[in-house]
Amino acid sequence: MSPPEYPKCRVEWCDRKDQSCDRSPDRKCIFHCDKSNWYETRTDGSKDWFHRMGNITQFWKELKEQKIDKGDYNFALFVFPLFPLDNPFSYTNAERLKVEVRFTGARFLSNATFSSMWLENAAFFNGVIFLDHATFSHVEFLKYADFSDTQFLGGATFACIFYEEANFRHCSFSSSHPTSFNPYFPSKEYTMFRGKTSFCEINFPRTFTFRHVDLSHVSFSGSNLEELTFLGCSFCKRKGRNELFDERKVFSSSGGLLPPAYFEVLEDMYRQLKYNFENRRDWRNASEFFVSQMEIRRLRLKIEANDLKIYKELWSEAKAIPPPTRTFFAKLHNSIPKLYTLKWWNRALERFFLAGFDVISRYGEQPDRALFWIVTLLLMGTIGIFASQPFADWNDAFLTTVRAVTFQQENNFDSIHRSTQWIITLLRIGSVIVLPLFFLALRRRFKR
């Protein structure tokens, strides 16, 4: 008797014809069929696979014989049932896997464990849905690793090394099950992300944790960074503040030519990180991210101001255009003076204040910097008064300076030398600016 002829699997590029293609509701082969009838859901939500153990064993047997043993690691759109005890994705005597591994669009219905694998070629887990916990432990991705649009609905554990680009763009992580990324060992040798890594456009839930991860190559554009946990993580540094990888793109490419909107996004990411670290009472990181936020704001204001200047140049070009077209520019021109004066001056003023705030107290974060300016005021004042009052000695000069800086009246102000009057006035102005900023920065430091 010849074996029965089954219809072809409904997945377009799949040539399999097996019993499942005939029996499963979606008419797909044993690898692709949706398997929702392979388990029963218990009252606590867990899955009972017992009554279909035969099918499960057959699935893994066929997977091994027809895919893995043949060196074929294309599992696109596969639906994986319960993992067997001899998990083919967990190698105890690990060989280096030289072929491309592709799980694009696959679904894992139960816990999925990948361990001790060396993937020498690209690995694609994009668009995969992990319905239960996903574990990637001691997996080394030597080439591109794609996890974009992947859904980790039952939490995940990653203890891997990504040697080249890793892409987690637009992933979704469970908000009820914990997800953690941590190296096997918190040292430089085990740095997780070594190439460009994207965690962009992700809504990180509270249950998400980066533990001891070096994030200097990780980009977070468009992600929500207020809730997730950073434990002992390191960021790259620029002039004593934390810098995101996203910011480096701005500087390395074309200086300040990126549109201001990009800087707004960056500024907001720093604000979110500041908020995140403040909530965890990690003041050092919070303060460094606040400084970054201010630096980016200044940069944005500068670019916006430059953009506004362009209108002026546009007008000078427009004047060379013959009349019919020129009327359009003439209309435009009517709005130019307003744009130029108001908005431009607005930004210029804000930049000026921010620059001063930076110079005097590093945006209120460094009282020592403000203290330096107070000492400088005292020193310059003393020297200045000593030099301008012919009969003064150092003692007098110093005391006069202290009186000026602390706003005490000079009894015979009118009788002293004109240039000394000037110095005293300047000292008072300086101290009006520096002293409050000093106390503000001091308060900010000790209120924590």
Residues that bind Zn ion (CB under 5 A): 9, 11, 14, 16, 29, 32
Structure-block tokens of residue 197: 């890594």
In whole angstroms, how close is the CB of 121 to Zn ion at the nearest point?
Answer: 23
Distance of alpha carbon 144 from alpha carbon 121, whole angstroms: 7
User: Measured between alpha carbons, how far is 107 from 203 in angstroms, rounded to an integer?
Assistant: 21
Residues 6+ positions from 180 with CB-CB distance below 8 Å: 156, 157, 158, 208, 209, 210, 211
Residues in the chain: 448
Q: Which is nearer to Zn ion, 9 or 266 (CB)?
A: 9
What is the CA angle 232-145-84, rounded to 5? 95
Exposure string for 113-124, b = 16+ CB within 10 A, e = fewer? ebbebbbbbbbb
CB-nearer residue toward Zn ion: 35 or 351? 35
What gap in Å lies between CA 421 and CA 404, rounded to an integer? Answer: 10
Nearest distance from residue 119's CB to Zn ion, in Å?
24
Decide: 183 and 213 in contact? Cβ < 8 Å. Answer: yes
Question: CA-based Rg of the chain, rounded to a whole angstrom?
Answer: 33
Nearer to Zn ion, 27 or 211 (CB): 27
Q: How far is the CB of 103 from Zn ion (least distance, A)?
A: 15
Rounded to whole angstroms, the Cα distance separating 162 from 92 reads 20
For the CB of residue 104, give the shortest distance to Zn ion in the complex, in Å: 14
Least distance (Å) from Zn ion to the CB of residue 24? 10
Shortest distance (Å) from residue 108 CB to Zn ion? 17
Hey, what long-range contacts does 412-419 have (CB within 8 A, 24 or more apart)?
Answer: 416/389, 417/388, 417/389, 417/390, 419/388
Task: Name which of 77 and 159 has its Cβ closer to Zn ion.
Answer: 77
Distances in Å between the alpha carbon of 330 and those of 116, 314, 343? 70, 11, 20
Q: How far apart are CA 339 and CA 344, in angstroms?
A: 7
Q: State in angstroms the smallest separation of the CB of 32 from Zn ion.
A: 4
User: Closest CB to Zn ion among 9 and 161?
Assistant: 9
The nearest distance, CB 62 to Zn ion, in angstroms, is 11
Side chain identity at residue 83, one-letter code? F
Cα 421 to Cα 431: distance, rounded to the nearest angstrom: 15
Beta bridge partners of 107: 79, 129
Q: Residue 8 or residue 312: which is nearer to Zn ion going by CB?
A: 8
The residue among 129 and 402 lying less far from Zn ion, judged by its C-beta, is 129
